[in-house]
Amino acid sequence: SQKIEQNSEALNIQEGKTATLTCNYTNYSPAYLQWYRQDPGRGPVFLLLIRENEKEKRKERLKVTFDTTLKQSLFHITASQPADSATYLCALDITHASGGSYIPTFGRGTSLIVHP
């Protein structure tokens, strides 16, 4: 069966450092991979999407890489700030059970804590 793995241990870093979060998957050949941010008691917020033919994508302080050979995506936040503290979810598209539209399936998420 398909599986998405994100580190369940919280990542603690100091303000100003680069945070790197990992998303590994098995038994998938996704067309794209997404990263979302979720704050406690809130719905996820879309951050970045990277397609299978893209190696890297950037948006402001965020950078995502996608290695389809390793079946891994890395999510980087440079010059991290305490406001970046949240849970970050990766999601991969998966064909709906009824054979319909592609719908992202989410990993459990990794909690990032940026200390001032």
Q: Which positions from 40 through 59 interact with other proteins, judged by CB under 8 A?
A: 41-46, 49
Q: Give whichever of 84 and 93 is closer to other proteins, judged by the CB atom.
A: 93
Q: In sequence order, what are the beta bridge partners of 27?
A: none
* Concatenated DSSP letters of 22-72: EEEEES---SEEEEEEE-TTS--EEEEEEETT-SEEEETTEEEEEETTTTE
Figure out which of the listed residues 34, 73, 80, 110 binds other proteins, where binding follows CB under 8 A.
Answer: 34
To which H or E segment does residue 58 belong?
A: strand 56-59
Candidate ranges 11-19, 37-45, 62-70, 75-83; the one touching other proteins (CB under 8 A): 37-45
Chain residues that interact with other proteins, rule: CB under 8 A = 4, 32, 34, 36, 41-46, 49, 89, 91, 93, 96-98, 100-109
